[in-house]
Amino acid sequence: MAVVTGELIGHAPVIATAGLTKHYGSVHALTDLTVTVGDGVTGLVGANGAGKSTLIKILLGLLEPTGGHASVLGHDIEEASQDIRRLVGYMPEHDCLPPDVSASDFVVHMARMSGLGASSARERAADVLRHVGLEEERYRPMGGYSTGMKQRAKLAQALVHDPRLVFLDEPTNGLDPAARNDMLRLVQRIGSDFGIAVLVTSHLLGELEQVSDHVIVLDGGRLLRSSATGDFLKQTGNLLVEVVGTETQRDQLGEALAKAGLTCRPRGAMVAVDPPPPDLAGAGVAHDIIRDVAAELGLGLMRLQPDRGHLEDVFLDGGARV
């Protein structure tokens, strides 16, 4: 099950686990997880209870694994968890902000708890709060913040000590669509512009499609798949065709295409055409056939596009494998 993701050329992996296992009595939170994470943004996907938060807590040294090994930024989690905690930032999933303190004071305090001196803590806190987009409200007690502002404050404390890696546990949880997009864009910037490696969890696959370079999929504490986001979304070789009209026109087109030698099946309002057989596999041959067939039938061709995979497919494939 060993899979490597990320740009590992020239440096040690950001995170490497080997056979990592965590059992709470009869509950198996993580089972034999072997995975490697590199720079950039890595998405950790899974349903609630798939073991995402457990993995982060083990990597932070807050939980002891039942078995297996792991290292973060080249430090072993059991021997040097303190060194790891100096170099990483953590944004937990749940609420963790005291309501009677301002974001500004709180982030300064958290910077000092990471070992920054008083003046550099203030400077860094002001900088980071600006980056996450907390303006004047940073001087107000956090109890009165909206969920979006709380998430920003939580993110700011995770970044204030300029970590080399941040764990973001469900950063978009509870946000409205606009705030969710803002947060995702910020996550992407942390990985690219800020140069900080990111491990971001979500139970929504679509979100991670947008921002992450690599995706690790967990299901019931087991690794389902780990690879570059591009691999998940790569073209499947299928073509999707849509014509003006109803299902009647769709079926009409489908039957005509089958006669022309292409294997196809209906998918929603569209016709999905499988990769053409060898004799029709030349560049653009299939496209020409589709165009001609539609013209002969007098159907208005509305869409003709290559089909792409989705992260969701992993669960379908994985389900089939298990």
The residues that touch other proteins, with contacts defined as CB under 8 A, are: 57, 60, 62-63, 82, 85-86, 88-90, 92, 94-100, 105, 109-110, 112-117, 120, 124, 127, 131-133, 135, 157, 161-162, 178-179, 182, 185-186, 189, 193-195
Query: Which of helix, strand or coil describes residue 200?
Result: strand
Separation CA 163–CA 159 (nearest Å): 6
Q: Output the smallest distance, CB 269 to other proteins, in A.
A: 34
Closer CB to other proteins, 112 or 203, in the complex: 112
Closer CB to other proteins, 148 or 276, in the complex: 148
Q: Output the smallest distance, CB 114 to other proteins, in A.
A: 5
Closer CB to other proteins, 154 or 225, in the complex: 154
Q: Output the smallest distance, CB 82 to other proteins, in A.
A: 5
Closer CB to other proteins, 98 or 268, in the complex: 98
Q: Output the smallest distance, CB 167 to other proteins, in A.
A: 8
Contact 16, 3 (CB under 8 A): no
Q: Output the smallest distance, CB 72 to other proteins, in A.
A: 12
Q: Which residues pair with 102 in a beta bridge?
A: 141
| H-assigned helices in the chain | 52-59, 81-87, 103-113, 118-132, 147-159, 177-192, 205-211, 229-233, 247-259, 285-297, 312-321
Tokens encoding 258: 């089958």
Closer CB to other proteins, 132 or 294, in the complex: 132
Q: Output the smallest distance, CB 87 to other proteins, in A.
A: 10
* Cα–Cα nearest to 189, from 138, 130, 232: 130
Residue 44 Ramachandran class (φ > 0 left, ψ -120 to 50 alpha, else beta): beta
Beta-strand ranges (E) seen in 5-56 are 15-24, 27-37, 41-45
Tokens encoding 70: 């792991």
Closer CB to other proteins, 186 or 243, in the complex: 186
Q: Output the smallest distance, CB 265 to other proteins, in A.
A: 42
Describe the strand order of the beta sheet including 301-308 as a list of residue ranges.
264-267, 270-273, 235-243, 301-308
Separation CA 236–CA 309 (nearest Å): 6
Q: Output the smallest distance, CB 275 to other proteins, in A.
A: 40
Look-up: residue for tokens 């995979």? 309
Closer CB to other proteins, 88 or 217, in the complex: 88
Query: Which of helix, strand or coil describes residue 48?
Result: coil
Closer CB to other proteins, 95 or 231, in the complex: 95
3-state helix vs strand vs coil in the chain, percent to 5? 40, 30, 30
